[in-house]
A and B are shown apart, each in its own frame.
Chain A
């Protein structure tokens, strides 16, 4: 027996282990329903391989590992998959998580499984893969996938293997009973692990309160070829912590933020060694484990070999629970375990103990008092942290400082809270701070990720824009070249005919006009002030006037022949419309100018009036031309109702009509007398046309719907139409809620009613056709 060192701190809580070691390990009765959480281990949740209704056999893989750090899941008995979905799982949050539910058929029928004849002849990789396929994860508490740990030999030099048999937490005796009853399995497991990791030294760390187990182990190890030491350590909580046990056995501290393998040490739990043994020598995956069922509220505290997925209620029944005495159900030990609220929570690979406690055994926590800075927490902290500081920082939400004080080295053993005279729930504070920091980090990662995506998108948009720009430029150049070529041709072909470039002429006229205006202004200014050479300025004005007149004349002469040809040729309504609009605008401007001039009593009124009258004439002409063309067009559309109706155009027309009508209505209010009656007439006409257009549109729409209904309706189109109609209704409703003006409200309401009707109609048609 080698030397045993010591770790800092630790406590001696009442052990309460004797109760559950009186009877040997017993097989728990087969439960009716088994709940198998997909995540029973650290890492990614497993992914189901079975479907609801499938029959599975005992030992059949029902979920496969996802990613490197994950574990597979096997059916613990034969039966039918009843459901795959959320069910309460053993977790501090009390939340539900995805579970596979198996209804056992009571036959417990094994799938064909095979042991490995001689594992020493296998490649280490193949052997580890076999262990991975058996779904073995650390059974001590954390549930770290064992195959990952067995691969540690690949990139680390492992010189010491430590088998953790300390089982320091009160009440728990599962490992103790395993050692007493299945020591040869443990030795077999150790052999396999040592074959894979090739350590020079193997140590079994065991607390001195398990004398029976120590004796059995010593018997089994007699004559063993491996270099195995049983190191008996004094009973002190938490000597079973991985880092604490390493310190106890080797006096080496695992550096903060590193793993034991970094200093050449690998730890395995006793339970895990037996699981490895069964996987290799019997080909059995991890489907059951030993669970200590204890506490004052059960009549027979004992260790039960329970199938993974057995609800706690079944185990409590097996140990004869006193329902009336049961006050608190704890999963795990009293120091690090969590209280569970639900007795249908299943046993998972890491469930080593269930404590059914009475109120006297685990009374509710006394109220938290103020910290008196006694320093007892520091004295018991096995990680040599400063619990008091961490408490202040966690409470004050100064998480950065907490982190600098090595909050993440806290193993949450609860020793500090156990000794705290003020009953401060210290571990809760640390857990809270840890999860806040983790959340913050996750958010930071997400934000960085989002930034990356955003920047990538910006870059892409810029690139696309640049490409578009380049294409546009290329096209423009092409066009310019083509135009140049055409111009050259034209010039060459028809030099006799003066190029009547209207736009150039227009520009020239405009320039001349501006010049004239400027000259006039200068002249006015000079006259007013009585300074400067007035006669010279007058001459300049005169010259400008002549040039402007000339330019205008040239423009008119160029413009005229083209204008009348337009309506005859093609009758481009759009162009005509624009022309009419331009004319109207010009007219309006001229009117404004006239009014302005009249108001101010400026001279040149006559001229303005003259321009106005010509403009009026022009506007009328343009309007007329447009109307003629439009009438011709509308009569042509009216003439062909049988032709497939262009719904979109119709709709557009209706909306244009509506807008016109509204405008006309608005204009009407401003007018008086004679003009008013005229306008009213026009309005009436417009209304009629609007009604006609509306009718035409509606008829077309109805026809379309009917046609669709008649001939194997296009469901998708209908659906889209319905959705659009619904959206229109909601939009209108919103608009209605926003507007306050009476008139607008009324019109909106009317529109809403029609929109609703339409939506309803569409919905009806949709419903009629949907089942078909």
Chain B
């Protein structure tokens, strides 16, 4: 009988001790904020363009962590959707066309002769990539521009163009090798038929 009681007491004692340790640890090593939001935010392209319907990338990251769809980010495109699907362990779905289509990377360019120096684009730029002052010509620091095109709409004289990023030697990419047909020699005739059907 005493052994049973001692066993129960010991187990009870252990439970109390571990409970205290765990309780202390949960306070001591408390994680500030929601770590998943940070992880999602790290995957988003940070254009802050608002095409997803949220006022920036972080609000969208918060919305995703609360269960919003992951396919609302056109600047990120399919690769971002895949990365998000990977992170959240959900199905990768195609981009929601309602929020825009994946486009080639662009940067804003101000036609400087036409700029009247109204500073409206400066106020619109989420990353402070436009330089200028009232009644002075403005210009875009193209290395800082994320191509969100938020500056285009406010311009009263329509002097901002979004121009595609030029391919130079510095940002040139090796192309993927051409997809081969993987034909087996004896299969060639049929393969050609299939190719014709495909066209």
Contact A432 B45 (CB under 8 A): no
Instruction: Kindly list 4 other residue pairs between chains A and B, CB separation below 8 angstroms, not including A97-B168, A368-B177, A727-B157.
Output: A93-B167, A443-B45, A446-B146, A726-B157
Query: When each residue 120-140 of chain B gets 1 if its CB lies under 8 Å from chain A and 0 otherwise, what string results?
Result: 000000111100000000000
Question: Out of A89, A431, A449, which one reaches B174, CB within 8 Å?
Answer: A431
Report the bound CA distance from A447 to B174 in whole Å.
Answer: 22
- List the B side residues contacting A435 at CB < 8 Å: 172-174
Nearest neighbor of B128 in chain A, beta-carbon distance: A457
Query: When each residue 40-57 of chain B gets 1 if its CB lies under 8 Å from chain A and 0 otherwise, what string results?
Result: 011011111000000011
Interface residues on B, range: 35 or more
Question: Out of B46, B168, B171, B172, which one reaches A454, CB within 8 Å?
Answer: B46
The reply on A429 being an interface residue by CB < 8 A is yes
Contact B180 A367 (CB under 8 A): yes
The reply on A453 being an interface residue by CB < 8 A is yes
Could you name 21 residue pairs across A and B whose Cβ atoms are closer than 8 Å?
Answer: A93-B169, A93-B172, A95-B169, A367-B183, A368-B182, A369-B182, A432-B177, A436-B173, A440-B79, A443-B45, A450-B48, A451-B41, A451-B57, A453-B127, A453-B129, A454-B46, A454-B126, A456-B128, A724-B116, A724-B157, A726-B157
Contact A429 B157 (CB under 8 A): no
The reply on B176 being an interface residue by CB < 8 A is yes
Nearest neighbor of A397 in chain B, beta-carbon distance: B176
Report the bound CA distance from A443 to B75 in whole Å.
Answer: 11
Give 9 closest A-B pairs by Cβ, nearest first: A368-B180, A450-B46, A447-B46, A431-B174, A453-B127, A93-B172, A435-B173, A723-B157, A428-B177
The reply on B114 being an interface residue by CB < 8 A is yes
- List the B side residues contacting A491 at CB < 8 Å: none
Contact B48 A723 (CB under 8 A): no
Contact A97 B48 (CB under 8 A): no
Report the bound CA distance from A428 to B180 in whole Å.
Answer: 13
Contact B169 A454 (CB under 8 A): no
Report the bound CA distance from A447 to B145 in whole Å.
Answer: 11
The reply on B192 being an interface residue by CB < 8 A is no
- List the A side residues contacting B176 at CB < 8 Å: 429, 432
The reply on B158 being an interface residue by CB < 8 A is yes
Question: Out of B41, B57, B171, B177, which one reaches A439, CB within 8 Å?
Answer: B171
- List the B side residues contacting A719 at CB < 8 Å: 113
The reply on A421 being an interface residue by CB < 8 A is no
The reply on B9 being an interface residue by CB < 8 A is no
The reply on A745 being an interface residue by CB < 8 A is no
Report the bound CA distance from A720 to B127 in whole Å.
Answer: 27
Minimum CB–CB distance for B44 against chain A, Å: 7
The reply on B67 being an interface residue by CB < 8 A is no
- List the A side residues contacting B41 at CB < 8 Å: 451
Q: Is the interface of B mostly helix, strand, loop or mixed?
A: loop
The reply on B28 being an interface residue by CB < 8 A is no
Report the bound CA distance from A442 to B105 in whole Å.
Answer: 13
Nearest neighbor of B177 in chain A, beta-carbon distance: A428
- List the B side residues contacting A726 at CB < 8 Å: 157-158
Report the bound CA distance from A723 to B116 in whole Å.
Answer: 8
The reply on B159 being an interface residue by CB < 8 A is yes
Nearest neighbor of A443 in chain B, beta-carbon distance: B45
Q: Which of B44, B113, B127, B177 has the most CB of A within 10 A?
A: B177
- List the B side residues contacting A92 at CB < 8 Å: 174
The reply on B144 being an interface residue by CB < 8 A is yes
Nearest neighbor of A450 in chain B, beta-carbon distance: B46
Residues of A whose CB lies within 8 Å of any CB of B are 39, 89, 91-93, 95, 97, 367-370, 425, 428-429, 431-432, 434-436, 439-440, 442-443, 446-451, 453-454, 456-457, 719-720, 723-724, 726-727, 730
Nearest neighbor of B79 in chain A, beta-carbon distance: A440
Report the bound CA distance from A435 to B175 in whole Å.
Answer: 9
Report the bound CA distance from A244 to B114 in whole Å.
Answer: 59
Report the bound CA distance from A89 to B172 in whole Å.
Answer: 14
Minimum CB–CB distance for B185 against chain A, Å: 9
Report the bound CA distance from A437 to B170 in whole Å.
Answer: 14
The reply on B190 being an interface residue by CB < 8 A is no
Report the bound CA distance from A425 to B168 in whole Å.
Answer: 25
- List the B side residues contacting A456 at CB < 8 Å: 128
Question: Out of B57, B79, B126, B159, which one reaches A723, CB within 8 Å?
Answer: B159
Nearest neighbor of B168 in chain A, beta-carbon distance: A95
- List the B side residues contacting A442 at CB < 8 Å: 171
Report the bound CA distance from A425 to B45 in whole Å.
Answer: 33
Report the bound CA distance from A90 to B82 in whole Å.
Answer: 36
- List the A side residues contacting B167 at CB < 8 Å: 93, 95
- List the B side residues contacting A449 at CB < 8 Å: 144
Minimum CB–CB distance for B84 against chain A, Å: 14
Minimum CB–CB distance for A91 against chain B, Å: 5
Contact A432 B174 (CB under 8 A): yes
Contact A454 B174 (CB under 8 A): no
- List the B side residues contacting A450 at CB < 8 Å: 45-48, 127, 144, 146
The reply on B156 being an interface residue by CB < 8 A is yes
- List the A side residues contacting B30 at CB < 8 Å: none
- List the A side residues contacting B180 at CB < 8 Å: 367-369
The reply on B181 being an interface residue by CB < 8 A is yes
- List the A side residues contacting B48 at CB < 8 Å: 450, 454
Question: Out of B126, B168, B177, which one reaches A457, CB within 8 Å?
Answer: B126
